[in-house]
Amino acid sequence: MQNYKHDVSPDWGLATQMVHGGLTRSQHAETAEAIYMTSGYVYASAEEAQAAVDNSKPRFVYGRFGNPTVAMFEERMALLEGAPVARATATGMAAVTAVLLAGLKTGDHVVSASALFGSCRYVLENVLPRFGIACSFVEGSDLTAWQDAMRPETRLLFVETPSNPTLAIVDIAAVAKIAESRGARLIVDNAFASPALQRPMEFGAHIVVHSSTKFIDGQGRALGGMILCRQDFLDENLNLFLRNTGPTLSPFNAWLHLKSLETLELRMKQHCENAGRVAEFLGKQKNVTRVLYPFHPDHPQHNLAKAQMDGGGGVVAFEVAGGKASAFKLSNALQLIDISNNLGDAKSLLTHPETTTHKKMTPQARAAAGVTSGLLRLSVGLEDTDDLCEDLEQALKVA
């Protein structure tokens, strides 16, 4: 039988990998990647079953351990991020939690940037201490604070860059170096940038996590997550943890995200262009007191963002004068832009982090993360920017 397995070249450019990376064709020679909706696999003999479980003959054994559609998504992501290996998870939070629990044990210590998504903060601050694992939070841009927070038992460092929702940028290369010098590993949550705009392993990150629910899906349809790491972390920490705890991604969601990757570069270019224009527009409005966008010249880490990202991303944060009351008035007056706590969609989505995504944080943690009462997070979609700016303009008038 003709072998239709795709020969993937690691030398292909990013756009080519997005379309072809990881593709494995079945005997039917389908154009589009196949969805293998199966929980298990069969064996021709008891001996074959035994060999498969012994791993002496690598093959798919059980859906919780692996699936051909999920494997294509993992391989494509590994090629895009320049990662030796990748493992998909059911959600972004499953990826974050699995990496932390698999990489740490009682007595270990983590250092994290304080500008974080509420659920990431929850896992670090509320879940890990139950297992005797301590976490220190530092201002992500303060390299001395990172150095000072390191302890002999520090094993992992954690950052979101850009962060949710304030778009704070962390110097990946500098923090990776601090981790390396102390025998620790740096985890970068790359959900806001996606591999189209930032590949943290190029700057020395040891582990990358994604919520593929966001820009990778790009159309608000399916949850998913991804862990990218080196072979030693997979073999020594992650593999058995994932197999036995089961945060597995559905083959159908893997297929959606695999297909979404084909348009990621195009979509991210447009998201960046639209978000840049919206940020510029917001910067000129008199009741907007602060605009945060990585490629906006006013962003405190603008130069660093330009050095480690290929575009500013699709999210803009801005603060309106008048705090929560004005933020709510503006949100309620919008006619085109939807109110939602999701982001990374083709549709523009507005969030008031203080009362939604970051509500469960303590006021101190919220302040450290830069989440104020007047702050709004706008995930800029793929609509005409004139329509988006018009909608914001009329809503700002009543805010």
Ligand X SMILES: Cc1ncc(COP(=O)(O)O)c(C=O)c1O
Site string for ligand X, 33-72 (x = CB under 6 A): ----------------------------------------
Point out the residue whose Cβ comes nearest to ligand X. 92
Q: Is the peptide bond before 162 cis (omega within 30 degrees of 0)?
A: yes
Of 67, 164, 166, 260, the one binding ligand X (CB under 6 A) is: 164
Closest CB 344 distance from ligand X, rounded Å: 8
Query: Can you read off the two tokens belonging to residue 115?
Result: 């500008």
* Contact pick of 117, 215, 255, 281 for ligand X (by CB under 6 A): 117
Report H helices in 58-193. 68-81, 92-103, 118-122, 143-149, 172-181
98 binding ligand X? (CB under 6 A) = no
160 or 354, CB closer to ligand X? 160
107 CB-near residues (< 8 Å, 6+ apart): 132, 133, 153
Q: Does 195 bind ligand X (CB under 6 A)?
A: no
Q: 223 near 91, Cβ under 8 Å?
A: yes
Q: Does 161 bind ligand X (CB under 6 A)?
A: no
Q: Is the CB of residue 102 less than 8 Å from the CB of residue 123?
A: no
Cβ 93 to ligand X, closest distance in Å? 4
Q: Which run of H or E residues covers position 155?
A: strand 154-160
The reply on whether position 330 binds ligand X by CB under 6 A is no
d(CA 137, CA 145): 9
State yes or no: residue 253 binds ligand X (CB under 6 A). no
Nearer to ligand X, 172 or 399 (CB): 172
Q: What is the DSSP string of 245-297?
A: H--PPPHHHHHHHHHHHTTHHHHHHHHHHHHHHHHHHHHT-TTEEEEE-TTST
92 is an interface residue for ligand X by CB under 6 A:
yes
State the minimum distance, in angstroms, from the CB of residue 342 to ligand X: 7
Residue 217 lies near ligand X (rule: CB under 6 A)? no
User: Which residues have C-beta within 8 Å of that of residue 205, sequence separation ≥ 6?
Assistant: 172, 176, 186, 187, 188
Told to check if 345 binds ligand X by CB under 6 A, we report no
354 touching ligand X, by CB under 6 A: no
Measure Cα distances from 115 to 169, 263, 266 in Å.
9, 30, 29
Q: Indicate the helix (H) or strand (E) that contains 207.
A: strand 207-211
Among 213, 248, 308, 373, binds ligand X (CB under 6 A): 213
Q: Which is nearer to ligand X, 167 or 337 (CB)?
A: 167
225 lies in the binding site for ligand X (CB under 6 A): yes
Contact flag: residue 75 with ligand X (CB under 6 A): no
Distance CA 49, CA 357 (A): 46
Q: Does 314 bind ligand X (CB under 6 A)?
A: no
Residue 17 binds ligand X (CB under 6 A): no
**Smallest gap from residue 233 Cβ to ligand X (A):** 19
Residue 213 or residue 301: which is nearer to ligand X going by CB? 213
Query: Which residues contact ligand X by CB under 6 A?
Result: 91-93, 96, 117, 119-120, 160, 164, 189, 191-192, 211, 213, 223, 225
